[in-house]
Structure 1
């Protein structure tokens, strides 16, 4: 059961919102899935590339070392070099080593005597630290990496013999090597499709990257050191996958190779895919919205017309055209509602006819007794008047009883006429409710049912002017006052009725209070229904009904505000003006229209 009237969501809006949510959700899910799959694929492919890059560097390093040893063996077997080494004079050896260095084409070329002392040193990158470092490394034949300051070399050492190696005399050693520098790492990077850098501890030795990006690698080195498996790294706002490889731990800090694979191309491809998916989603959303608007209009337009037909029927318009198009369900609803509307009209006509007959029956039952009573009084008194032996006083008394019976019959018929006239247009003119109330009190005081009842009138309003049908308002106040007098007469103590007028700028209210026994609880719920009475011996039971009808026709109401014994209170409220459909009041020639 509905407890609150809420407008709810329109079907068209619900369909469009559902479409937008589905397309937006599908597009977002597609973007997330594609992004995740692309990242997984790129991670796997880049990891494999990094492992291949490390293997390639190691194979290149091994190949270069083999080539160095072969070149050294050829140079060491040259007679001219053997003759040079027999001089054992450092300057002579140093000067004579230059041609051999140029022929070798290596970055590093040195000659040492048989005791291991370096006699000649030639290099493309002269450094004061190179000779001491080489002299120190030469003492350990297992070493083949030479670090001098910021220069790193891989070298090979080959002995020089006079004669064959087995029986000849050792003349000295030839040392040659290549620099692990920017050019070498660029060659590795171009071959492997990855970037490379070599570090000694946290000191950068060489890199295939530009200097600005190399600085970023140094800052992020701690996050990737020791990573035997590829790990992500952010360098200068660019995503990389990095792996490290230690290839010499003899120094106080290890020498590490860092291989990096940039996600730049993958990120660019992902952005392009995202744009394409988003564009496809936008196109689908636009096309779907247009299509859904058309479809929803086809679906909801007949529903809206059917809804309007229901509203129109609720306001009394039973000829509103119902939709004959739309979906199968809508057509079924329209046909069913049309049948229901026809059945309701038929049933309502039958109910109105039955109610009419029932009202006539209740009215006949209600007034038959009182009408018989009045007619019997007229008939009996008329027979008495036919007697010639009546005195003048007796005749006048009989005439008065006949007059009262006729007056009662007239009042009863007037009540029935007013009840039957309900709903007809009122002739409302500007009048004083105070004057109307005084006339009603005068009429009530002349009624036999007011005998012994004190009727008082108090006007608490400075102005009681209102646009009213004076005769109808007078009749309503008369009925309320008469009803109050009849109730007050049943009180064993004080019998009083008071009428008090109050007013606001919009309304005039009459408060009728009597000292009677109150309103029984059994009839309070239907107190203003026709022919309702309790403990009454005469009357039609239409007094309160007519008062309520007159109040409603004057945009007001009648209320029972207190039903207790001794202080039964009714409020009769009417509007001071009559408002038209546009909310304004119209008064022409003293008549409100």
Structure 2
């Protein structure tokens, strides 16, 4: 007995030392805002064009592209209209010259008509006959021909650029429709006035286009900046501020303020920030819990050592009652030592692998009842009733200590829920434990006649620090029970539609290893 006591005390001491080292891990993960690297200490990002700058550049590029698409056809149309106006004047002059008898128009009047048209020569072709109606003293050599009767868009643009890039003094021959009948009217003119007029028109149109483009671009830029850039900048600033200090309060957003993608991004960011803030709070709570547990372990090892010494002395007493309760006390102490060895197992998201074997369920349920003192009459009167309904000789393939922990947690939760009805009535306030086997699965139900689980606690019932339904509860009991059941390949669930709260455990048997079974039979 003394050797067991010394070994238990040593194990508790080792568990406390391990707890002190392991508890520092969760706390280390939570970096205070003051220790985070500041924005000034962060590596400088290369300067680049922001969203507003990119928007301005794209707006200017697209507006200028639109102006080019408008300016080029307009200049080509101006050239054709200028030539058409000269040809219209030539048609009028041709009517005058054609109507007059030969030699009846003086040279001075002919020169006046040519100056009014702006042409060097005017000719008319009709009925396969070409007549030179008027001409200057020395007609120059023609450098280019232009027919305005049928000009395609690409030809008009190319000839307009050719005119703008031409040298001064180039002479062109322009052909248009005659005043009446078939044929054509043609004029020979100096292209320099046309080129200068086109340059003036291009400059004026470009100036007006730039003013319109600037106003349009500014309005488009301001509109897009107000609708998109400014909200995106606010979202970016919120992200940066939240990254620097996640403890800042999350702003509220009206769900109906914006129904577009920007509004959806604002609402999703708000929900994400709240979820991250809650996760950080749980992490801080886990860190604080780990520190508290390490302190408790430090003092608990001395208490357990003293209790073990007392249990050793009690074992030497020959009183029948003492001999009957001493094994239970020793078993409770052994479990307490084992719990201390794995105190921080949940904080590390670990539980020892279950050491499964076939265990009788009825004695384990009776031990849970005796441990909690259920079904006994106390000095205050009858307590909480306890009803056992376990199939005879039912055995479950499980780790006895871990299954005992699960049943103890469930029955303790039920007892605490029923204790609120003081004084208790065993006929009304009861805890029922049932067990049955269906094939290779054992079903265990722990039910009570209490108020049941509140609706708000059901969504996160088996999550750490989330499923507590009473004030002062840690919310760890059901989370640990769910983890232990999952390690056994089973599960735990709340049965709906029952009086009070009913939890069902499902513990499947381990799969049979046929090869090992055959080897065992052959060896036997």
Bigger radius of gyration among the two? 1
Which bracket does the TM-score occupy, shorter chain normalised? 0.3 to 0.5
TM-score (norm 1): 0.29
Q: Indicate the structure with greater strand content.
A: 1
